[in-house]
């Protein structure tokens, strides 16, 4: 009898936990106010420096593949992803070029050669700065939980859609910046990138983006 009561209490508390974590669709007025807040913050962003942890989830694997490092963004469109664990690999997107440093082995490519890469680049920059509420490119829906706001973007471009079924951006409720990016593939496997220890508008030297 006593055990049953405990189970009941446990179930009830779990239930209330899920109720808290459950998300709700935003109302029209909430969407307008959320967009305004995000855009206001994005407008003020000149630089972002943040740590990131990337989890690649594939259903057939026992464990997600975890990589981590630092990300730098500087207005208008310089972006660097620097993986430090478990390997050193960095990729810079700058002025239509991609610069790669793979454990000291350097190479550069034109983004222009790859339309899809250009789109993915725009998407990454937009995801990080939160500036991607583009109705022409995406079908967007807005949700809220007690702690976060979540935006789901479905690409309209057929070429992009082939690779990415949906992008899910999670925003911090306090400062309206992106704290998690989830790129979901058509197979439902996904890449989840968690951004933490973020610093906004600190000076970043241009040499960071030279690779």
Partner 1 sequence: MQKSTIPFLLTSCLALVLVSCSPVNLVQDYKTAPVEKPVFQNTYFANPEIDYVYKANISVYGNELTGIFVAKKINETTHRVVFTTEFGNKLLDFEISDTEFKINSIVDELNRKILINTLKDDFRLLLKKDFMVTEKYSKGTDEVVKSKDGKYFDYLFVSTTDHKLYKIAQVTKTKEKLSMSFTSENNIFADKIVIQHYNLKLRIEFNYFKQN
- 61 belongs to the binding site for partner 1 (CB under 8 A): yes
Using CB under 8 A, pick the residue from 21, 33, 87, 110 that binds partner 1.
Answer: 87
Cβ closest to partner 1, residue 97 vs residue 146: 97
Cβ closest to partner 1, residue 16 vs residue 88: 88
- 81 belongs to the binding site for partner 1 (CB under 8 A): yes
SS3 (DSSP) at 202:
coil
End-to-end CA distance of the chain: give it in Å, rounded: 67
Which phi and psi angles does 208 have, rounded to 5°? -60, -35
| Residues in CB range of 134: below 8 A, 6 or more apart | 126
- Binders of partner 1 among residues 105 to 164 (CB under 8 A) are 105, 107, 120, 163
**What is the C-alpha to C-alpha distance for residues 208 and 211, in angstroms, rounded to an integer?**
7
Torsion, Cα of 46, 75, 179, 28 (10° steps): 90
| Beta carbon of residue 69, minimum distance to partner 1 (angstroms, whole number) | 10
- 45 belongs to the binding site for partner 1 (CB under 8 A): no
Which phi and psi angles does 64 have, rounded to 5°? -65, 150
Summarize as ranges the residues that interact with partner 1 (CB under 8 A): 54, 56, 58, 60-63, 65-67, 81, 83, 85-87, 89, 91, 100, 102, 105, 107, 120, 163, 183, 185-187, 189, 191
């Amino acid at each position: 009898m006593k055990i049953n009561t405990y189970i009941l209490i446990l179930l009830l508390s779990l239930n209330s936990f899920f109720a808290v974590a459950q998300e709700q669709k935003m109302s029209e007025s909430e969407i307008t106010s959320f967009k305004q807040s995000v855009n206001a913050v994005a407008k003020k962003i000149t630089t972002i420096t943040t740590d990131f942890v990337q989890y690649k989830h594939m259903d057939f694997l026992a464990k997600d593949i975890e990589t981590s490092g630092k990300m730098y963004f500087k207005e208008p469109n310089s972006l660097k992803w620097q993986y430090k664990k478990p390997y050193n690999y960095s990729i810079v997107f700058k002025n239509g070029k991609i610069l790669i440093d793979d454990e000291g082995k350097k190479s550069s490519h034109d983004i222009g050669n790859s339309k899809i890469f250009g789109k993915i680049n725009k998407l990454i920059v937009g995801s990080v700065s939160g500036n991607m509420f583009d109705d022409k490119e995406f079908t967007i829906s807005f949700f809220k939980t007690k702690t976060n706001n979540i935006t789901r973007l479905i690409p309209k471009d057929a070429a992009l859609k082939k690779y990415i079924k949906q992008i899910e951006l999670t925003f911090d409720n306090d400062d309206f910046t992106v704290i998690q990016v989830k790129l979901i593939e058509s197979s439902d496997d996904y890449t989840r990138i968690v951004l933490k220890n973020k610093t906004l508008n600190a000076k970043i030297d241009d040499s960071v983006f030279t690779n």
